[in-house]
Amino acid sequence: MDISQLDKIKTAWNELYPTPDANQKLEILLKELEIARNNNRFNPQPDGWYKDAVVYSLYVDFFAGTFHGLSDKLDHLKELGITCLWLLPILDSPMRDAGFDIRDYRNIRAELLGLPGGTDVEIKQKAFRDFLEEAHARGIRVIFDIAMNHTSEEHAWFVESRKGPDNPYRDYYIWNKDTNKYKETRLLFKGMCPSNWEKDGDYYFFHRFFEFQPDLNYKNPDVLIEISRILLFWLSQGLDGFRADAIPYIWKEDGTDCENLPQTHTIIKIFRAVIDYVRPNTLLLAEACQPPKEVVKYFGNGDECHAGYHFPLMPMIFKSLAVGDATPVHEVLDPSVTPEIDTENQWFMFLRLHDELTLEMVTPEDRAVIHGHYCKDPRWDFRVGEGISARLSELLDRDPHKISLANSIMLTLPGTPIIYYGDEFARLNDEAFYERFKLETGKDDTRYFVRGPLNWKQIDTELANPESLTTRVNATITDQLRVRGQWPVFGRGDCQWATIEISPREDHEKPLLAYFREMTGQRVLVINNLSAKAITIKAIDDHNTEFVNLFNGKSLETPFVLPPYGYLWLEA
């Protein structure tokens, strides 16, 4: 018999906090959970809905100004083929790190709602609920970021905490008289932060990210309860899921690298049980920039996150495109690197997340190849060679064929795809936005190249020109998403590499990234030409001899020619 969610919480809680005082606090949380469940107005979501999703990632203000503007764009997003919105940080913040420095977890930034700063919180929450209803009416789910590892230094908890060792909120954060703890912890913002400790009066506080983002102290059970309450609050508003930001760093132990510790997984089990008890199948998405073998641990035994980003795959797609060879993608998806996952779980795929082409999860040799090929402007360098801050169209030479090919790969390999706002219009780096924020923040944070507002008038002008890069890329991506939406196999099917005979053929050359996607009742063959030359497909090692092009419904028999950077999606 399955253990109830409450029993799961009790078991995990006692592993972390085996004291009578902590048990009293747990009883309070369990009572609040019961109230939240009884008051829940929303039905459980369908099992595995996130497997069929196409996610669109955006900053509300940069995409549409306000939530009202975003509501006006929902029909556009639905027509594009989007079924889930990932709202990049929308909560109250001083905005020193694009909103990832949260000042109030229950309060949406007033300007995003088109409201004055002093507007009552409930009015803002009502406006957000209205937006959720608009999105849900169009079949679009909504998730957003919850930074669980840290807050802004302006958060009320930290304002109190820094008042002194005797303050009741002092233990919500990690303070020390010196910097002699957690010495093995790596610097995440290499080149921007010299240390994980920041001096404040006679003490230091610990931070994994910027010095204005102090880390929460989960050794204090009050912190876990507070974050659980925040999850419950947003469940009550109708949110469909949470992107759990920076979860590998949640628990700290001296003498370790403070990443992926067992206690972190115990905490995630509690969060998952809290969510499942109130509204099952609400998405918990792991933002863990770690090797796949570590990321899959955040799926637990079906009791942690539902899904996680496949961070190492993205740079290998770029490497394969750079060298015209499928080997890097083959190697990163080999079971020795990417373990099999349960049918409930899912990888989330992307070409660009909201920041940079991150190179944390590659070897120094691969980093040299990728950085050398794609960092075409020294200003794009991020974290001293560990990332490249540039828009997809800039990385791919503003070439519509390369851009379309890259999207073909992302949309057809196993996983749920994420499109970063503006990429469907071949948006370029925002030079002016970068320069402005460098002045305003005092940080040379090159990620601002890939942010900034969309100019819809300019987009409309470019879309009116059939030869523009904007039109060509937009037409292709719209067509790709139309087809993908008709074939659940792309989100749910198995993947097997295809063997194809080609001409011309050189020894050890693998210019085609080709694979079958298969599930009961559906079988598709995808062929991507990674090279700058046309390739003749002479034969396909398969029992079929005739294939049907998913884009135009026409039959195709070998031999046929695939143009440079061309691709085909075929019913097999």
Distance CA 417, CA 420 (A): 10
Cβ atoms of 489 and 518 within 8 Å: the answer is yes
Half-sphere exposure of 241 (CA within 13 A, CB side): 30
Distances from the Cα of 150 to the Cα of 97, 102, 245, angstroms: 12, 8, 9
- Note if 542 is an active site residue: no
Quick check: 515 and 413 in contact, CB under 8 A?
Answer: yes
Instruction: Quote the CA–CA distance of 25 and 30 in Å, as a whole number.
Output: 9
405: burial class by Cβ within 10 Å (0-12, 13-18, 19+)? buried
Q: Pick the catalytic residue from 97, 198, 287, 394.
A: 287
Both structure tokens of 452: 């900034």
**275/231 Cα distance (integer angstroms):** 7
The DSSP code sequence of 156-210 is HHHHHHTT-TTSTTGGGB-EESSS-S-TTPPPSSTTT-S-SEEEETTEEEE-SS-
Query: Catalytic annotation on 304?
Result: no
Catalytic member of 240, 245, 366, 381: 245
| Inter-residue contact 383 to 191 (CB < 8 Å) | yes
Rounded distance between C-alpha atoms, residue 320 and residue 366, angstroms: 11
Please count the residues of the chain: 572
Angle, vertex CA 204, rays to CA 203 and CA 206, nearest 5: 150
Residues with catalytic annotation? Answer: 245, 287
